[in-house]
Structure 1
Amino acid sequence: MSAPPIAQSAPIVPFWNRLREITRYPAHMSSMITIVMLAFGNLAIFLPFGPILVLLVTVAMYRYAFECLRATANGYMEPPEIAQSTDSGLGWKQIGLMVIFIAVSIVGVVLFGPKFGIALMLFLGLCLPGATMTLAMDESLASALNPAKWIALLTRMGWSYLAVVGLCLIILMSQRYAGALAAKVLPHFIAVIVVGIIANYALIVTFHLMGYLLYQYHDVVGFEPARPQILRPPAERDPDQDLLDEVAEFVRDGKPGNATELLRGHLRGRGGTHAVHTQYRKLLRLTDERDELLRHGQQYLNILMAQGKGRLALDLMRECKALEPTFGPADAEQTTQLAKFAAQSGQPELALGMLSDFHKRFPKSKDIPQNYLLAATLIHERLNQDEKARALLNYLKENYPNDSLMPEIDARLALIERTMAITKKPEAKG
């Protein structure tokens, strides 16, 4: 009897057939709230230390833009309300990336003259979207500065990548023209807000466009999107809404301690909905109760994993790891499931953090070979650390020679060794 056919997913609509939807993406209410609020934040320029405050606003805007990029790359075609799952330092890393690109261009002009400098500037401008997408996938500035990553994206996506670069340039030029026009005809105070809205809107369009390019070409760039369900049930009243209303009243009255104790008792006695757990953690952060945040995080992580809510579990993992880098699931099975989901969701560093020293924490686990094969794959494809990946695979060959995954381990090891042989510099002859 032949094997049943594999179900085929619906083809992804190319970005050139969704340009209207892409340009209207930031107009969703959830995105416009952030765009407008942060545009008003630019009014800080009129305050003491204004440039520093505006820089912080810009960093926040870039972080939200990365949230939109990643959500789009994962198949979500509506913008998120706030930045939750991205690294809080991504905004700074993007600004650092652009500063480095500009500095390299200037150095090129100074050292090699205007012709080479302009050529270098054009090349870096062409590669900046690729570097930005790499930063979104790997959350590593070092990885985003790796030219091999940019070239890989460009060659694998082909003319589509060049088309997106051209569209980003058109959007940037249009934004500059509209901003200059607004600054010319409006009073300065109002113009600061309007120019900020235009710039923020254009930024979200470009990052959404780059995210969609990753989504469209995920199969050739090694990114596995976590596609959402197309149909979502209508929102219902939270079963614990009465409790949440009571907590909100305590907070309004300036009694966060009472609110925290009320939620703590409810969770210990009867559990609670996601909204209750979320509100409890907000109050714990407000009162800086680090130990309780970690204790509750461990408990709530078990609940989320049991309910199959992987995305929420990853968000919780990131939050708790920021408090305690060694934080992780309590058992091997949860670690395996969550690390795999993190890798599929384009969060390789989080996955690798969970898999670090897995064999020492769970020496009897049957998941060691599959987890270290995943880790080696991520280290090879996302971090370009082939020596480390090869060492990990050789460890598996030595200690688990009869494992059923050995053919895949051998194939991955052979690929890594071929890559190393190609990239290895020829030894200098004496």
Structure 2
Amino acid sequence: MKHDCHYHPGDPAKWHCSECQMHYCTRCMPDADTRQRRALCPQCSKAMRYLGAATEVVPFWNRIGAFFRYPFHSDPLMVIAICTLVPIVAPANLIGIVIWVLLALALFKYTYAVINHTAEGHLKPPPVSVAFSGSGFSIVLLQFLVFVLMGGLVASAGMLGGPLLMMLALAFVVLALPASIMVLAMERSVGAAVNPMNLAMLISRIGSPYFLLYGYLILLTLASGAAQDFAVNHFPFWVSQPLAGFLNSTFTLILFHMLGYLLFQ
């Protein structure tokens, strides 16, 4: 719930004192440690609760411009540049293939970190180190298992109920895929990410914004494909390859940032 500052009506509150039942904005608390989320109430000197960005949350359709600017912060730009340019100069042998795979995994890991980071209310991208640290790569295997199980669900529906049931199962899988990605990013559980009841519950809790976001995701995916196709067909290979990789990475970060923001909202 959004609260305004007690002393500056109209300014979103960042701190709340449960003892005094007072809300304060950043102007009231210039000495507060927002990084450590520590501050003392000016009235009673008791520790206060940090409200963070939750007091400023706005519907995602009012932040479309911010979503498109997200990949162009310094940290994601560095991740994209490293993962796009290094494979081009890597040797064309087994070592080069290993480098390409490792960087693809790093980029994939960073996109899932974006969901978590955004869902916690951080509207600026996570640092570069998140992509290249030694932990967290298991999300790649988990996502692969989710895709395999979803494919198995569609195939099983076809064997048990024929083409009609298979098409219904496929329609649900396609519709629930963004919800599945969000659940997997937050819970790191394959079971939760493929449970139809779990996904249907998440979609129903989000409500109409989920379907509006789904439309945006489809448009972004089509735009990404068209931009990459244009790059491949109108530029020489040495230009089109990094350009297509840059476009793909950029649109992917936009998509995952939107998913994280929907969870936050």
TM-score by length of 2: 0.71
Q: Distance in 2 between matches of 1:185 and 1:45?
A: 26
State the partner residue of 1:66. Answer: 112
Q: Distance in 2 between matches of 1:149 and 1:16?
A: 25
What are the residue-to-residue correspondences of 1:174-253 with 2, within 5 Å? 174-216=223-265
Name the structure 2 match of 1:305. none
CA contact 2:150–2:194 (8 Å) conserved in 1: no
Q: CA deviation at 1:161?
A: 1.1
Runs of 4+ in 1 over 3 A off after TM superposition: 3-9, 41-57, 102-116
Q: Distance in 2 between matches of 1:51 and 1:105?
A: 33
Q: Distance in 1 between matches of 2:203 and 2:232?
A: 36
Q: How many residues align?
A: 214
TM-superposed deviation, 1:75:
1.1
Identify the range of structure 1 (100-109 vs 192-201) with the bigger mean alpha-carbon deviation.
100-109
In 2, are the aligned partners of 1:61 and 1:91 still within 8 Å (CA)?
no
Residue 170 of structure 1, CA deviation: 1.2
Alignment of 1:283-322 (within 5 A): none
Tell me what 1:148 maps to. Answer: 197
- Give the Cα separation in 2 of the matches to 1:123 and 1:51: 36
AA matched with 2:69: R
What is the CA–CA distance in structure 1 between the aligned matches of 2:217 and 2:192, rounded to whole Å? 22
C-alpha contact (below 8 Å) 1:71/1:211 kept by paired residues = yes
Q: Which residue of structure 1 lines up, in the alignment, with residue 48 of structure 2?
A: none
CA shift in 2, pair 1:123/1:45, >3 Å = farther
Contact 1:67 1:86 in 2 (8 A): no
Rate the CA distance shift 1:207–1:86 in 2: closer, same or farther, 3 A.
farther
User: The residue matched to 1:77 in structure 2 has which SS?
Assistant: coil
- Aligned AA for 2:75? S
TM-score (norm: length of structure 1)? 0.45
Q: 2:207 matched to which residue of 1? A: 158
Q: Secondary structure at the match of 1:173?
A: helix
Gapped runs of 5+ residues in structure 2? 1-18, 25-50
In structure 1, stretches of 5+ residues that fail to align are 217-430
Q: 1:5 aligns with which of 21, 24, 28?
A: 21
**Quick check: 2:105–2:137 contact (8 Å CA) kept in 1?**
no
Change (3 A) 1:176 1:13: same
The 3-state SS of whatever aligns with 1:59 is: helix
Q: Which amino acid aligns with 1:137?
A: M
Percent identity, aligned pairs only, is: 25
Change in 2 beyond 3 A, CA 1:176/1:215: same
The 5-angstrom pairing of residues 269-418 of structure 1 reads none
Change (3 A) 1:197 1:75: same
CA distance in structure 2 between the partners assigned to 1:183 and 1:196 by the alignment = 11
Q: What are the residue-to-residue correspondences of 1:17-56 with 2, within 5 Å?
A: 17-43=62-88, 46-48=92-94, 54-56=100-102
Q: In the alignment, what sits opposite 1:132?
A: 181
Asked which structure has the greater CA Rg, the reply is 1
Q: Report the equivalent of 2:46.
A: none
The answer for the alignment partner of 1:80 in structure 2 is: 126
Is the alpha carbon distance of 1:187 and 1:165 closer, same or farther for their aligned partners in structure 2, counting shifts above 3 Å? same
| Contact 1:132–1:144 (CA under 8 A) maintained in structure 2 | yes
Aligned residue identity for 1:79: P
Task: Write the distance in 2 (CA, Å) between the matches of 1:126 and 1:99.
Answer: 17
Amino acid at match of 2:118: T
**Equivalent in the alignment of 1:57:** 103
Q: Over residues 353-374 of structure 1, what are the superposed CA-to-partner deviations in whole Å (9 max), with x where a residue is unaligned?
A: xxxxxxxxxxxxxxxxxxxxxx
RMSD of aligned alpha carbons = 2.7
Cα deviation, residue 136, structure 1: 1.3
Give, in whole Å, the separation in 1 of the partners of 2:82 and 2:76. 10
1:130 shift after superposition: 0.9
Structure with the bigger percentage of helix? 1
Which deviates the most, 46-55 or 68-77?
A: 46-55
Per the alignment, do residues 57 and 85 of structure 1 end up closer, same or farther by CA in structure 2, a change over 3 Å counting? closer
In structure 1, distance between residues paired with 2:137 and 2:169: 31
